[in-house]
C-alpha cells in the first residue's frame, strides 16, 4: 500500500509540474491593428485573429476626443461650413464628439450621425469566437509642440465620457444606431496617452469599470501603454490609482530598450506593480515588429528576445507580473499573404520559438522525472537564430501610431486556438486543492 501511495504521489507531482510548465510558458501576444502601416488596404482584423500566435488585438485608435480637442471639421479637411454641417450636423459642438481612426475601415455616416465600420462587425465576432480579446485604444502618438488632439478639462468630463464609450462600444446601447461596430461588443479599453496630460482618465476608467460590473454580462479588460521611462509622464496616475489588467510597456523609442542591458528596466516596472499591491496586473514587453515600425528599438536578433523573456520567466519575482509580448503593429509584423510563416512574419517567428521550445522543455522535464516546479519555469531552451536585419535609427515614427494614418475615407484561449476550459489564473488554487486531497488520502490510508 505504501509503495502504491508513493508512486501515486510521484505521478501527481510530475503532472502538477507539467501543467505549471505548460501554462507558465504560454506567453501571450498582444498586437495593435488599424493604422495600415504597410499601406492600404490593410488586411482584415480576422486575418490576424486566425493566427494561433495572437491572443489580444487592440484597435488603434480613437485618436481625438474631449470637448476642447475633437475637431471633426479640421480632421475632415472641410473648409466650407455648410458642407461640414451637411455631413455632420452640429456634432462639432457636441461634447461627446470623438474621431475613430481605423484607416479605411470606418467612415462617418451622416444618416446615423456615427462612424460605421461594416466589415469589422463580423470580424470582431470572429476574433472573439476564436478566443481572442478585442480592445479599443484611446490616444496615440503626440508630437511635442504640436496641437493637442485629446484630453479632458476635468475629472467630471472623463467620468461622463465613460458613459459615451459604454454606449458606443460596450453593452450600454447594443440596439442603438450610433454604434460603429453595431451589435459587436468589444472586450476592453486601452489608454495610450502620450501628451503628458493625465486629467480625467482615472475617473473615466473607474466609471467604465463600474458600468461593466453592474450592467455588463461578461468580463471587461483595462490596459495602458506607457513609455518604458519610469515613471511614465502620461499614464502614471492611471497605473497608480487603478488596478489594470494589462500594462503594455513600450520598450522602444526610449532609452530603456530591451536590447540595452544596462537600462532595460522591466524589473523596475515589476517592482512598482508589486509595491502597489496589485495581483492581476500583467506587464507586457512592448516591441516594434519590424525595422520600419519604430525609430529605434527593433531587435533583429530574435535570440535576444528569447533570452530576455527566458530571464524574466525564470526569475520568481519578475515572472509574477509578466504577461507576454506586445507588438506595434500587425501590418508590419505579419506577412500580408503568409501570416504564419516563421521566415516571413516576425511576430509569428518569435512566438513560435518561445512556445515550441518552452513546451518541449516542459515535456522533456516530465519524461526525465524532474518533477520540481523550478525546473519547468520558463524553460524556452536554445535561443532563436538571428534574422539578419539591422536597426534603423531614422525617425520614421513610433508606436503608438508611428505611421499615424490621417486618412478617413468614408474569454482566455489555449494555444490550440480553442477556448480554454478554465481560467488559467485559477491554476494555483486548483493545484492546492488537489494537494490537500492527496494528503488526506495518505493519512486515511
Prediction pTM value: 0.76
Distances in Å between the alpha carbon of 98 and those of 95, 328, 340, 404? 9, 23, 35, 16
pLDDT higher than threshold 80 for residue 409: no
Domain 2-410 fold: TIM Barrel (3.20.20)
Tell me which long-range contacts 169-174 makes (C-beta under 8 A, separation of at least 24). 169/136, 170/208, 170/211, 170/212, 170/216, 170/220, 171/215, 171/216, 171/217, 172/211, 172/215
Proportion of the chain above pLDDT 70, given as a percent: 69
How confident is the model over 300-322, as a mean pLDDT? 94
Work out the average pLDDT over 431-443: 55
| Enclosing H/E stretch for 100 | strand 98-100
d(CA 349, CA 108): 37
Kindly report each contact of residues 120-124 with a partner whose C-beta sits within 8 Å and lies 24 or more positions away, as own/partner.
Answer: 120/45, 120/59, 120/180, 120/181, 120/184, 121/181, 121/182, 121/183, 121/184, 122/46, 122/184, 123/44, 123/45, 123/46, 123/49, 124/45, 124/181, 124/184, 124/186
CA 419 to the chain's CA centroid: 18
Cβ atoms 282, 24 nearer than 8 A: no
Residue 194 appears among annotated catalytic residues: yes
Q: What is the mean pLDDT of the chain?
A: 79
C-alpha to C-alpha distance for 74 and 118, rounded to whole angstroms? 25
List the grid coordinates of 146. Answer: 504640436
Note the pLDDT of residue 22: 40
Locate the domains of the chain by residue range.
2-410
C-alpha cell at 326: 506586445
pLDDT reading at 93 higher than 80: no
Dihedrals φ, ψ of 311, to 5°? -60, -45
Q: pLDDT at residue 303 above 80? A: yes
> Could you give the C-alpha distances from 283 to 156, 194, 265, 398, 413, in angstroms and in order?
29, 18, 12, 20, 18
- Please report which confidence band the pLDDT of residue 228 belongs to, taking 50, 70 and 90 as the band edges: very high
* Greater pLDDT, 163 or 109: 163
Predicted pLDDT of residue 399 = 42
The span from the CA of 319 to the CA of 312, in Å, is 6
Q: Band of the pLDDT at 21, cuts 50, 70, 90? A: very low
Under 8 Å between Cβ of 441 and 154: no
Q: Give the pLDDT mean for 89-116.
A: 80
Instruction: Give SS3 for 274.
Output: helix
Which of 379, 282, 276 lies closest to 326, judged by CA?
282
Give residue-wise pLDDT tens across range 266-295. Answer: 999 999 999 999 999 999 999 999 999 999
The owner of cell 503628458 is: 196
Question: Tens digits of per-residue pLDDT, 327-377?
Answer: 999 999 999 999 999 999 999 999 999 987 654 443 333 223 332 222 222
CA distance 332 to 292: 8
Instruction: Report the pLDDT value the prediction gives residue 434, as an integer from 0 to 100.
Output: 58
Question: Which residue in 194, 207, 257, 313 is the catalytic one?
Answer: 194
Which residue would you say has higher pLDDT here, 244 or 390? 244
Amino acid at each position: 500500500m505504501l509503495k502504491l501511495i508513493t508512486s501515486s504521489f510521484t505521478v501527481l507531482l510530475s503532472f502538477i509540474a507539467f501543467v505549471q510548465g505548460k501554462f507558465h510558458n504560454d506567453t501571450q501576444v498582444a498586437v495593435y491593428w488599424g493604422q495600415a502601416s504597410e499601406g492600404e488596404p490593410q488586411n482584415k482584423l480576422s486575418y490576424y485573429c486566425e493566427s494561433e500566435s495572437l491572443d489580444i488585438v487592440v484597435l488603434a485608435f480613437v485618436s481625438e476626443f474631449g470637448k476642447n480637442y475633437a475637431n471633426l471639421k479640421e480632421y475632415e479637411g472641410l473648409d466650407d461650413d455648410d458642407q461640414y454641417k451637411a455631413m455632420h450636423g452640429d456634432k462639432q459642438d457636441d461634447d461627446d464628439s470623438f474621431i475613430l481612426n481605423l484607416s479605411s475601415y470606418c467612415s462617418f455616416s451622416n444618416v446615423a450621425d456615427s462612424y460605421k465600420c461594416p466589415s469589422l462587425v463580423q470580424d470582431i465576432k470572429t476574433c472573439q469566437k476564436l478566443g481572442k480579446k478585442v480592445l479599443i485604444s484611446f490616444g496615440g502618438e503626440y508630437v511635442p509642440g504640436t496641437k493637442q488632439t485629446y484630453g479632458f478639462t476635468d475629472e467630471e468630463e472623463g467620468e461622463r465620457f465613460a458613459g459615451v464609450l459604454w454606449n458606443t462600444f460596450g453593452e450600454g446601447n447594443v440596439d442603438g444606431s450610433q454604434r460603429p461596430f453595431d451589435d459587436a461588443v468589444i472586450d476592453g479599453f486601452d489608454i495610450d496617452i502620450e501628451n503628458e496630460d493625465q486629467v480625467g482618465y482615472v475617473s473615466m476608467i473607474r466609471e467604465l469599470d463600474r458600468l461593466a460590473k453592474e450592467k455588463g454580462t461578461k468580463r471587461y479588460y483595462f490596459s495602458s501603454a506607457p513609455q518604458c521611462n519610469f515613471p511614465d509622464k502620461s499614464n502614471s496616475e492611471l497605473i497608480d490609482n487603478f488596478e489594470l489588467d494589462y500594462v503594455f510597456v513600450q520598450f522602444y523609442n526610449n532609452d530603456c530598450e530591451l536590447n540595452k542591458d544596462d537600462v532595460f528596466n522591466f524589473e523596475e516596472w515589476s517592482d512598482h506593480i508589486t509595491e502597489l499591491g496589485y495581483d492581476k496586473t500583467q506587464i507586457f514587453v512592448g516591441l516594434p515588429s519590424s525595422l520600419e515600425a519604430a525609430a529605434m528599438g527593433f531587435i533583429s536578433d530574435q535570440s535576444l528576445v528569447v533570452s530576455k523573456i527566458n530571464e524574466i520567466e525564470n526569475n520568481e519575482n519578475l515572472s509574477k507580473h509578466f504577461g507576454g509580448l506586445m507588438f506595434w503593429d500587425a501590418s508590419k509584423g505579419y506577412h500580408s499573404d503568409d501570416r504564419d510563416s516563421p521566415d516571413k512574419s516576425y511576430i509569428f517567428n518569435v512566438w513560435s520559438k518561445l512556445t515550441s521550445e518552452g513546451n518541449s522543455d516542459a515535456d522533456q522535464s516530465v519524461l526525465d522525472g524532474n518533477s520540481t516546479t523550478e525546473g519547468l519555469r520558463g524553460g524556452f531552451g536554445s535561443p532563436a537564430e538571428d534574422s539578419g536585419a539591422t536597426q534603423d535609427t531614422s525617425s520614421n515614427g513610433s508606436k503608438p501610431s508611428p505611421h499615424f494614418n490621417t486618412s478617413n475615407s468614408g474569454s482566455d484561449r489555449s494555444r490550440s486556438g480553442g477556448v480554454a476550459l478554465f481560467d488559467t489564473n485559477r491554476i494555483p488554487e486548483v493545484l492546492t486543492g488537489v494537494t490537500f486531497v492527496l494528503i488526506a488520502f495518505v493519512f486515511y490510508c
